[in-house]
Amino acid sequence: MGFTGISKLVTSNVGKSTNILWHDCPIGQTERQKLINQKGCVVWITGLSGSGKSTLACALSRELHSRGHLTYVLDGDNLRHGLNRDLSFKAEDRAENIRRVGEVAKLFADAGLICIASLISPYRSDRSACRNLLPKSSFIEVFLNAPIEVCEGRDPKGLYKLARAGKIKGFTGVDDPYEPPSDCEIVIQCKIGDCPSPQSMADQVVSYLEANGFLHD
């Protein structure tokens, strides 16, 4: 369908972009969700390094896949291999890292997928900004509440050791703060000597998704 007149399209400026126009498409989120019989949402997993975020993300994705649901995992480290490879771990770059992931997660949710984002995301303000990109019920914050002793004992990447030796500066939980969620949807508690298995953690999130209608259109 072409233009039927010479009416002027109204453009706008957004951020550093000028003269841009939002284009709507007749196929939207509702139609996409009906096609795959699920509701798009973002499961945002936050916690200290070594708390088990990536492990939970993969276990959750595997469990949902086995039930016939379409998911996609956005892992913080993986994204720094591509989308966010130009960002450092300075405060302003960490904020931009979370902003970009939030925008991408929003697109996946709009496509009807269950997007699982796994990032330390230490600051409440950054996580809140991502939450505000979506309808509130579609942003599910999962806090992996693991003591730093547990995380440091695992230290899968050897980062705590480097941070304690002063070779890494601004490391979350050592010389940079982690701000735990104050109103998240799901808390998964891990205690010294008593941490839930990946499957039980995934089951806890799946139960929430089922109870809140995300696993059917």
Where in the sequence numbering do the catalytic residues fall? 121
Structure tokens at 118: 């796994």
Q: Which two tokens stand for residue 1?
A: 């369908």
Q: How far apart are CA 170 and CA 196, in angstroms?
A: 29
Rounded Cα distance between 35 and 11, Å, is 32
The C-alpha atoms of residue 7 and residue 10 are separated, in whole angstroms, by 9
Tokens matching residue 175: 């010389």
* Length reported for the chain: 217
Tokens of 80: 């720094």
